[in-house]
Amino acid sequence: MRVLFVCLGNICRSPTAEGVFRRRLEARGLSHRVEVDSCGIASWHQGKAPDPRAVEAAAQRGFDLSTLRARQLNAEDFQAFDFLLAMDHDNLSAMREQAPEGMSAHMGLFLEFAGLPDKAVPDPYYGGEEGFEEVLDLVERAAEGLVEEIASRREACR
């Protein structure tokens, strides 16, 4: 199972989702079953570490984002991943425009897994510290839901 988190710059929301989701998988003993990555629609921050505000806010909750590096969404991603999960509606539209016909992967909004259909993770880049706390609150909830979804699929396959 392969999961890709997608936002605009890949320096705030999707690396936060990647770091939080990895930890939740570890806690559930599912790390070896699931590959996780994140990327951005835009190439602006390619190769860069996450925004220091995102790294700091995540570290306060015990998540290490410091080793992650930004990259842009590419054509292979649509074949390589089973779940491509966007942080907001713009990310999802951009992803859908680039997606090849007939692909079988699930493309949707990440917060579906928090029981919040149609809700976006707000872009915190131009705001204050509180925006990064809100990102973490939402991402932690959705990560929990996604881990449960994956765990229940595993049960069903036994």
Dihedral sign from CA coordinates of 124, 97, 72, 146: positive
Q: Catalytic one among 51, 77, 88, 123? A: 123
106-127: b (≥16 Cβ within 10 Å) or e: ebebbbbbbebeebbbebbbee
DSSP 63: -
Options 8-16, 22-30, 99-107, 139-147: segment touching ligand 4NP (CB under 6 A): 8-16
- From 2-10, 28-36, 77-85, 105-113, span contacting ligand 4NP (CB under 6 A): 2-10
Q: How far is the CB of 114 from ligand 4NP (least distance, A)?
A: 17
According to the binding rule CB under 6 A, does residue 125 interact with ligand 4NP? yes
Q: How far apart are CA 39 and CA 84, in angstroms?
A: 10
The residue type found at 127 is G
Site for ligand 4NP contains 143 (CB under 6 A): no
Site residues (CB under 6 A) for ligand 4NP? 7-13, 44, 123, 125
Q: Which residues are catalytic?
A: 7, 13, 123
